[in-house]
Chain A
Amino acid sequence: MIPAQLFCWHFMAYPHLPADFDEKYDSGWVTVPNELWDSEKSKGLYQEYIDQLALADRLGFDGVVLNEHHQNVYGLAPSPNLIAAALTQVTSHGKIVVLGNLLPLHMNPLRVAEEYAMLDMMSGGRIIAGFAPGGGPETFNYDIPSAPSREKFWEALDLIVRAWTEDGPFIHEGRHYPLRYVNPWPQPLQKPHPPIWVPGSRSPGTLIECAKRGYCYFLSSRSHGAATGQAREQFTKVLEDHGRKYHPLRMGILLSAYVGTDDQTAREECQEGVWYFLKNLLKGHLRTEGRQLTFGPGVPYIPTKAWRQYLETSKPGRKLLGDAENWEELDRSNSILVGGPDTVFERLKNLVDNSQVGNLLIQFHLGNMPNDLTCASMERFATQVAPRLRAYSAKLFAQRFPHMEDELARAEAAQ
C-alpha cells in the first residue's frame, strides 16, 4: 500500500523586516527596497534554513522542497539549485524537489538540463525536477513578456526532456531556443529522467499539457476549499482524455502547518510567524492590500478566451489568503493548519479525503518563526502526525485507487 508522500517545503523567508513594515511599504515584492536587507543580521540564515531541511530528511520526510523567487522578501532562493546542491551533501534519504526552475527566466534551457543532471548525480538520483513559467512578479523582475511565456515554457521543457532522453548531439529547431548542438554532459542518474512536476492554477492549458506528458500536476493554490477537489476532478478528466488514469501521486498541493503540544499553545507559539508571513510576505502576492502582482490584466499570460471565463466567474477585489483578519478566517481558508497533533491530523485527514491528492508539500517555517519552534513543530509532525496520516492515506488510496500500486510498480520497473 502506498501512503501520501509528505514533503517539507522551505520558502526561505526574510525574517528581519521592521515591525512597521506593513504600514510603511506597499509591497514585499519587486519594489520592496533592498536597503531593508541586513547582511549582519542575516549571517547564518541560509545555514539555519538548510539545517532545518536536513532535519526534515533525518525525521523521515519523503522529501524537501525548494522554489525560485526573485527580488522579494517571501523567498530568498533566486537560485534554488544552489540550495539543492548543498542539500545533496547533508541529506541522504528523501527526494529533493526543486519546484521549480523558472524556465522563461533562463537564457538557455540547456543550462537547466545540465544543472538538474548534476544535482541528480550528486544526490544519487533523488532529484524531482520541477519547472514553472513564472508568475506576475517574475514578469516585472526579469522583464519577461507574459503573453508568449507559456509557449516558451513548453518549448524549453520539451527540449530539456529530449536532451535527457535522446542521444546527442542533435539540432533543436525551436522558435524560441534554436540550438545547433544539444549534447549535455552529464546526464541524470534516474532513467528515463527525473520525475517532472509542473505547477498550475487550474488553467486548462497547463492541465492538458501535463496530462499529455504524464507529469505530476502541482496545484499552486495555498488555500484549499472546494476548488482543490475540483482541480483533481478536472485533472482526472483531462488524464482520461489522454489515456491515463488519475491516482493521488499524480498531483501535489501546498499547505502550511504548525504542530504544537496542544491547540492553545500551538496558536500562541506560531502567531507571530503566521501573521508576519500573511501581512508582510504575502503583500504584493496573495493580499489585495497594496498592488497584487501575481495575477491580473497587467500580466496577460492567460489566453483571451480563458480570461473572459475568468472574468465571468470571479468577483473583483475578492479576499485573498493574506487578507485574513483573524484565526477564524484563516482556518476557513484551509491553508495554514495550526494545532496540537490531533487537530492537525484531523484536518489533514479531511484534506486528503476531500482532495484525494497524494503529494502533500508542507511549509513549516513561516515568516520570522524562530529555529527552535520550527524544528519542534517538524518533530511533532514527524512523530505524532505523519505515522497516522500515512496509515490512513495508504488505506484510503488502496481502496479508491486500486490501480495505483501496479502502475507505480511498473513505472519503477521501467527505470
Chain B
Amino acid sequence: MTGRVIEAAGRDVALFEAGDGAPLVYLHGFADLHGVAADPFPFHQALARDRHLYAPAHPGCAESAEYGDLSTVEDAVYHYLEVLDALEIDRFDLVGHCMGGWIAAELAVRHPRRVASLTLIGASGLFVTGAPIGDVFMMAQPERGIDYAGLRRMLFQGGDTKLARALFPDGRADLDDEMRRYQMLRFASFIGFKPPYFYNRSLVNRLHRVTCPALVIWGAEDRMVPRAHGEAYADGLKGSNGLEIIAGAGHAAHLEEPEKVAGLIGDFLS
C-alpha cells in the first residue's frame, strides 16, 4: 500500500493505493483511514484483494488541500470528478463509509453509468423523519476537557474497546492523529452542517437513477446514522438486495468487523 499526493484541478489530493485490477474508489468517514489514521486498516487491505484501490482524502483532510469554494456536497462531487479525471478512471466500483458514503451516493445519482457498483457502509446523506443523524460535533467536544467516551460510543458499538480507545483516546492523542480528526471535522463542517445536517433532502428521490448493483451494510448498533437510513438506501437503490446488518458492530462496522464487512463486499464484487 502506498501513499502519494496527486494534483486534481490544481489542488493537492492525498491518495492511498493498493492492489491490482479494476479500479475501486473508497471514500472515507470519521473513524477511518485519513479521517483519523494515517495507515490503512485490514479492511482497506482486503478491498484491494482483486481490485486497484484508490482511497483519496477529502479536501482539507490528511495532506489534501483545503479549498475555499467548498460549501456543499455538490462541490465535493465535482471535486471527485476532477480526481477521477486526474487518475484517468472512467468506470469504477465505488465504496463509501459515513460522509464518504454520502458523497459516493451523490456521485452515483449524477453519473450512474460510470459507477460499476455502489457499496455504502453506515452512509449519511438521507433525511429520515424521526431518525436524526447523531451530533458528531457535540460528541467531539470532550467531557471534563479530556473524555471522548461520547464520541467513541457514537462511532463504535463497543465504545470502550481497544480499537475505539486506540483511535479516539482520552486526553491528547498523537498530534498528527489529532490533526487528522480536526481536519475531518472541519471538512464535515464545510459541507455537512447546514443546510442540511449531513443530508440532502433531494437525494432520496434521485436514488432510483442508480442502476448498478448496490450493497448497503450497516452496523446493528450504529448510533451515528440510524439503521432507518440503511433501510431507506436499500429501498431506494434498485440494485440492492436489502440491507446487510453486521451484528456486534456500530457505525464503524468496517473497522469493528473487518472480515465480515470485507467478506460481504468481496462476494458482492465477484
List chain A positions with a Cβ less than 8 A from chain B. Answer: 136, 139-140, 143-148, 151, 288-293, 296-300, 304, 307-308, 311-312, 315-318, 320
Instruction: Please state if B138 and A297 are interface contacts (CB–CB under 8 Å).
Output: no
A23–B185 Cα distance when bound, in Å, is 31
On chain B, the residues within 8 Å of A151 by CB distance are 68
Q: How big is chain B's contact interface, by range?
A: 20 to 34
For the complex formed, measure the closest distance between the CB of A284 and the CB atoms of chain B, giving whole angstroms: 9
Q: A298-B141, A316-B171 are in contact. Are A307 and B179 (CB under 8 A)?
A: yes
Q: Which residues does chain B contribute within 8 Å of A311, judged by CB atoms?
A: 172, 175, 178-179
**A298, B186: Cβ atoms closer than 8 Å:** no
B189 contacts A291, C-beta separation under 8 Å: no
Tell me, yes or no, whether B183 is within 8 Å of chain A by CB. yes
**Do B141 and A293 touch (CB < 8 A)?**
yes
Q: How far is the CA of A139 from the CA of B197 in the complex (A)?
A: 12
Is B66 positioned at the interface, with any CB of A under 8 Å from its CB? Answer: yes
* B185 touching A145, Cβ below 8 Å: no
A325 to chain B, nearest CB (A): 15
Residues of B within 8 A of A140 (CB): 135, 137-138
Query: Given A289-B144, A292-B141, A304-B66 in contact, is the A297-B193 Cβ separation under 8 Å?
Result: no
Docked CA distance A312–B143 (Å): 20
Answer whether A296 and B142 are a contact pair too, CB < 8 Å, given A304-B179, A304-B182: yes
With a CB–CB cut-off of 8 A, which chain A residues contact B172?
311, 315-316
Which residues in B have their C-beta under 8 angstroms from that of A148? Answer: 71, 189-190
Q: Are B186 and A300 in contact (CB under 8 A)?
A: yes
Contact yes or no, A147 B175, CB < 8 A: no
For B189, give its contact among A300, A308, A318 (CB under 8 Å).
Answer: A300
Q: Is the CB of B185 within 8 A of A308?
A: no
**How far does the alpha carbon of A201 sit from the alpha carbon of B270 in the complex, in Å?**
56
Interfacial residues, chain B to chain A (CB-CB below 8 A): 60, 66, 68, 71, 135-146, 150, 171-172, 175, 178-179, 181-183, 185-187, 189-190, 193-195, 197
Chain B residues whose CB sits within 8 angstroms of the CB of A298 once the complex forms: 136-141, 185
Give Cα distance in the complex from A146 to B60, angstroms.
15
Most buried by A among B138, B145, B181: B145
Q: How many whole Å from A69's CB to the nearest CB in chain B?
A: 17
Partner of B193, one of A143, A291, A308, A316: A143
Determine the chain B residues whose CB is within 8 A of the CB of A288 once the complex forms: 144-146
Contact, CB under 8 Å: A297 / B141:
yes
Q: Check A316/B71 contact, CB under 8 A, given A298-B139, A304-B66, A304-B182.
A: no
Q: Which 6 A-B pairs have the closest CB atoms?
A: A298-B140, A145-B193, A317-B145, A147-B189, A288-B145, A317-B146
Closest to B151 in A: A298
**In whole angstroms, how far apart are the Cα atoms of A50 and B159 in the complex?**
49
User: Judging by beta carbons under 8 Å apart, are A316 and B145 in contact?
Assistant: yes
Q: Are A318 and B145 in contact (CB under 8 A)?
A: yes
Q: Decide if A308 touches B186 in the complex (CB within 8 Å).
A: no
Asked whether B137 lies within 8 Å of A139 as measured between CB atoms, the reply is yes
Checking A145, A289, A293, A316 against B190 with a beta-carbon cut-off of 8 angstroms, the contacting residue is A145
Inter-chain CA distance A278–B141, complex, in Å, is: 20
Which residue of chain A lies nearest to B136 when distances are taken between CB atoms in the complex?
A: A298
Chain A residue with the shortest CB-CB distance to B171: A316
- How far is it, in angstroms, between the C-alpha of A293 and the C-alpha of B140 when the chains are bound? 10
Contacts of A307 in B (CB 8 A): 179, 182
Bound state CA distance, A290 and B142, in angstroms?
9
Candidates A296, A304, A316; contact of B183 at CB < 8 Å:
A304
* Chain A neighbourhood of B135, CB < 8 A: 140
Task: Decide: A136 and B171 in contact? CB cutoff 8 A.
Answer: no
Assess the A136–B179 pair: CB atoms within 8 A: no
What A residues does B187 contact at CB under 8 A?
147
Chain B: CB-nearest residue to A288: B145
Complex Cα distance A317/B171, Å?
7
The residue in chain B whose Cβ has the minimal distance to the Cβ of A146 is B189
CA distance A298 to B142 in the complex (A): 9
Additional A-B contact list (16), CB under 8 Å, known A146-B137, A298-B137, A299-B137: A143-B194, A145-B194, A147-B193, A148-B71, A288-B145, A292-B141, A293-B138, A296-B141, A297-B181, A298-B136, A298-B141, A300-B182, A304-B60, A311-B172, A311-B175, A311-B178
